[in-house]
Amino acid sequence: MDNKEIESAIEAILFAAGEPIPASRIALVLGISDDEVHECAKKLSDEYSFNRRGIRLARMGDSLQLCSAPEFSQEIVRALERRKPPRLSQPALEVLSICAYFQPVTRAYVDQIRGVDSSYTMGVLLERGLIEACGKLDVTGRPSIYRTTELFLRTMGISDLSELPKLPEAGSDESREQLGSLLEAVKAEEIKQMSIEEN
Amino acid sequence: MDNKEIESAIEAILFAAGEPIPASRIALVLGISDDEVHECAKKLSDEYSFNRRGIRLARMGDSLQLCSAPEFSQEIVRALERRKPPRLSQPALEVLSICAYFQPVTRAYVDQIRGVDSSYTMGVLLERGLIEACGKLDVTGRPSIYRTTELFLRTMGISDLSELPKLPEAGSDESREQLGSLLEAVKAEEIKQMSIEEN
Amino acid sequence: MKMKNPTFHLEGIVKSSDEMQDFTGPLTLILMLLSKNKIEIRDLKISEILDQYLEHISKMQEMDLDIASEFVQMASHLVYIKTRTLLSGDEEVSELEELMSSLEQIRCHDAYMSIKAVTEELSRMSQQGLLMFSKEPEPLKTFDSGEYRYSHQPQELINALFSVFSKNTSSGQETPSMPKRIIYGVRQKSSQLIELLRNSSSIPLRELYEISRSRSELIATFISVLELCSHGSISLYSNGGEMSVTLIGEPPEDFTEETFSE
Choose the weakest-confidence range: A32-46, B98-112, B129-143, C242-256. Answer: C242-256
**Considering CB atoms only, which of B86, B101, B169 is closest to C115?**
B101
Q: Where are the domains of chain B?
A: 3-68, 90-196
Closest chain B residue to the Cα of C106, Cα to Cα? B175
Identify the pLDDT of residue B191.
52
Identify the pLDDT of residue C261.
38
pLDDT of A37-57, one tens digit each? 999 999 999 999 999 999 999
Chain C residues near residue A115 by CB distance under 8 angstroms = 167-168, 171
Q: Which residues pair with B132 in a beta bridge?
A: B147
pLDDT of A82-102, one tens digit each? 655 567 888 889 999 999 988
Identify the pLDDT of residue C224.
78
Asked if the model's pLDDT at residue A13 lies above 90, the reply is: yes
pLDDT of C117-131, one tens digit each? 899 999 999 998 999
Assign domain B90-196 to its CATH architecture. Answer: Orthogonal Bundle (1.10)
Identify the pLDDT of residue C104.
74
**Considering CB atoms only, which of C1, C28, C38 is closest to B102?**
C38
Identify the pLDDT of residue C63.
57
pLDDT band, residue B149 (cuts 50/70/90) = very high
- pLDDT averaged over every residue in chain B: 86
pLDDT of C97-109, one tens digit each? 666 666 777 778 8
Buried b (16+ CB within 10 A) or exposed e, C72-91: eebbebbbebbebeeeeeee
Supply the DSSP string of chain B, one letter for each residue.
--HHHHHHHHHHHHHHH-S-EEHHHHHHHHTS-HHHHHHHHHHHHHHHHHTT-SEEEEEETTEEEEEE-GGGHHHHHHHHTPPPPPPPPHHHHHHHHHHHHH-SEEHHHHHHHHTS--HHHHHHHHHTTSEEEEEE-SSTT--EEEEE-HHHHHHHT-SSGGGSPPPP----HHHHHHHHHHHHHHHHHHHHHHHHHH-
pLDDT of A123-170, one tens digit each? 889 988 899 998 887 776 778 889 999 889 888 888 888 888 887 654
ipTM of the complex: 0.64
pTM here is 0.54
- CA proximity to C190, closest of C126, C123, C245: C245
Asked if the model's pLDDT at residue B196 lies above 60, the reply is: no
Q: CB A13 to CB B79 under 8 A? A: yes
CATH number for the domain whose boundaries are B3-68:
1.10.10.10
Closest chain B residue to the Cα of A52, Cα to Cα? B8
pLDDT band, residue C249 (cuts 50/70/90) = confident
Q: Maximum Cα–Cα distance for chain B, whole Å?
A: 84
- Confirm if A57 and A45 have CB atoms less than 8 A apart: yes
Asked if the model's pLDDT at residue A59 lies above 70, the reply is: yes
Cis peptide before B143 (omega within 30 of 0): no
Closest chain A residue to the Cα of C169, Cα to Cα? A183
Instruction: Determine the average pLDDT of the residues in C26-55.
Output: 56
Distance CA C133, CA A12 (A): 9
Q: CB A68 to CB C213 under 8 A? A: no
Chain C residues near residue A90 by CB distance under 8 angstroms = 160, 163
Identify the pLDDT of residue A65.
92
- pLDDT averaged over every residue in chain C: 66
Q: Do domains A3-68 and A90-196 have the same CATH topology?
A: yes
